[in-house]
Amino acid sequence: MTIGRPRTVSDEQILAGAARVIARMGPARLTLAEVGREVGLSAATVVQRFGSKRGVLLAVARHGADTLPLQVAAAQDASAPTVALIDVLAGIAGGIRSSEEFANHLAFLLLDLADPQFQRISGDYTAAVERAIADVLAASQAAGELISGDLGRLPRAIHAAYNGALLTWGLAGGGSPAEQVRDQLTLLLGPYLQPTPPAQPGPSS
């Protein structure tokens, strides 16, 4: 029985490299050769793994749809889940380093709007990330961080505020993407936070 050579570059590493190429060049200019150069492989090896340029782009989209909701969901384990949620979403936005990169991400988003296969992945991602946000909010209420009440519409509002903050930053600039996301989410979620009790005065001397 012949034992194949171990893969020195994992599929996940290739997808991370492809995501960097998309951020740098946009999906239209992405080539399998460029992805291969990014991770130290030949274009032929990338073809063996993913089949085609379209296969790479679909795999990048699916990988993001699978992993980003898990990052969001991790905030529910924090002592202050809502604050942790803002930190997580600001951190994700912090991966965008320039308006050119953001334009390339938007070009990738256009595939979600125009192509049925990408659209299904995008729909799965939206549902998963909003479920994760809902779980974080439930944990936050249980911890006494958020006010009691029905927060059923808040996950979509948070998701919309996140995306809107990025788009507004791309149009108007000002600060960084992470700062814009943090500011907008803090503004949105502030009224839902339990008021902090005033500090008790210490014993008089």
Reported as a pLDDT band with limits 50, 70 and 90, residue 112 is: confident
The pLDDT value recorded for residue 173 is: 86
- Res. 177: pLDDT tops 50: yes
Q: For residue 82, what pLDDT is reported?
A: 97
What is the distance between the alpha carbons of residues 117 and 20, in angstroms, rounded to a whole number?
22
d(Cα 62, Cα 46) in Å, to the nearest integer? 17
Give me the pLDDT at residue 80, please: 96
Stretch among 4-8, 58-62, 117-121 having the lowest mean pLDDT: 4-8
Least confident of 58-62, 111-115, 131-135, 150-154: 111-115
Q: Extract long-range pairs of 11-18: CB within 8 Å, 24+ residues apart.
A: 11/49, 11/59, 12/63, 13/39, 14/39, 14/41, 14/46, 14/49, 14/50, 14/56, 15/56, 15/59, 15/60, 15/63, 18/56, 18/57, 18/59, 18/60
Residue 28's region, left for phi above 0, alpha for psi from -120 to 50, else beta, is alpha
* CB of 92 closer than 8 Å to CB of 180: no
pTM across the whole model: 0.88
Reply yes or no on whether the pLDDT at 2 is more than 50.
no
Strand partners, 146: 193
Q: What is the DSSP string of 167-194?
A: HHHHHH--S-HHHHHHHHHHHHHGGGBP
Helix (H), strand (E) at residue 152 = none
The answer to whether 98 touches 106, Cβ cutoff 8 Å, is: no
Helix (H/G/I), strand (E/B), else coil: 95: coil
Measured CA to CA, the distance from residue 165 to residue 158 in angstroms comes to: 10
